[in-house]
Amino acid sequence: MRFAEDGFGSKARIGLVYIASSVVMEPEMYAMAAPGVSIHTSRLHLPKVTVEGIDSMMRSPGLEQASRLIGEAPLSVICFGGTSASFLYGTEWDRALTAKMESWAPGVPSVTTATSVLDALSSLGVGPVALATPYIEEVSLRAVKWLEENGHDVVAWEGLGVTSDLALAEIDPQTVYDLARRVDRAEAEAIFISCTNLRTIAVIAALEEALGKPVVSAVQASFWKCLQIAQVRGGAKRGYGRILDEVAE
C-alpha cells in the first residue's frame, strides 16, 4: 500500500532559531526541501532592523531561551536564521555564537546563516562578490566589512533602506531580481543576496541563467549548510541554484 507524503523528517530535521516577526525562511526551506526533510522553529523578538535593534535582540535572554527550547526536539542540526545578526560583529563573534548555541542545546550541532554563506561561497570557489541587501546603509556596510574580512572583495553593493522586519517580507521577487541585476559587475564572481526575511529563492535560477554566475542567498545557503551538517544527500529539490543542485535528489 502506498501512503501519501506527510512531511515527516525521516532524513533530517532542521531546527531554526528565527525572528518572531519573520515569515519567509520556513516556507522557502520547505519549498527547497525534498521529502524526508522537515523544519522546526523557535523564535525571538527583533525590535527593528537597525544596528541598535539587532544588538538588543542578540543581547536579550530570548536568544538563549529560544535555543534551549528548540534543542529539546530530536534534531539533526540547529541554524540561527538571522543574517545581519550573525555578521554584525564579525567572524569571531559569529563563531562564539555557534559555540553558545551548542552549549544551550547539547548534542545538536549548530550553525549560523553567516557561516553558511561563507561556506557556500567557498564551496563554489568564489572570490569577489556583488552584494544585494534590503538593509539601511549602516547594516549593509557591516555586511561589506564581514565579507571582505573573509576574503570576498565586494565590488558593488546596494541596500533598499528597509528597517521594518514586517516590510522586508512584503518585498516582491521582481524587486529582488532587479536589485541583484543592478549590483552585478563583470568582476563579481557571484551575487550574494542577504537577509532571511527577504523572498529570494524564486529568482535564483533565473538570475544564474541571466548572469552566468552563481547566486547565493541567505536562506538558500543556510538550508544547504544544514543538509551538509546533517550529512544528507538528495535532501533538496532542483531549481534553486548551483549550490543546491549539487546535493539535490
pLDDT tens across 106-154, in order? 999 999 999 999 999 999 999 999 999 999 999 999 999 999 999 999 9
pLDDT tens across 20-48, in order? 999 999 999 999 999 999 999 999 999 99
Q: Specify the pTM.
A: 0.96
Closest CA to 46 of 34, 28, 58, 38: 58
pLDDT tens across 143-163, in order? 999 999 999 999 999 999 999
Mean confidence (pLDDT) of the chain: 96
| Cell 535555543 belongs to residue | 67
Residue 90 has pLDDT above 90, yes or no: no
Kindly give the residue spans of alpha helices, DSSP state H, lying in the chain.
25-32, 51-58, 61-70, 83-87, 91-104, 113-123, 137-149, 165-168, 173-183, 201-211, 218-229, 242-245
Residue 247 has pLDDT above 90, yes or no: no
Domains and CATH numbers, the chain: 12-114+220-245 (3.40.50.12500), 117-217 (3.40.50.1860)
- Sequence letter at residue 243: I
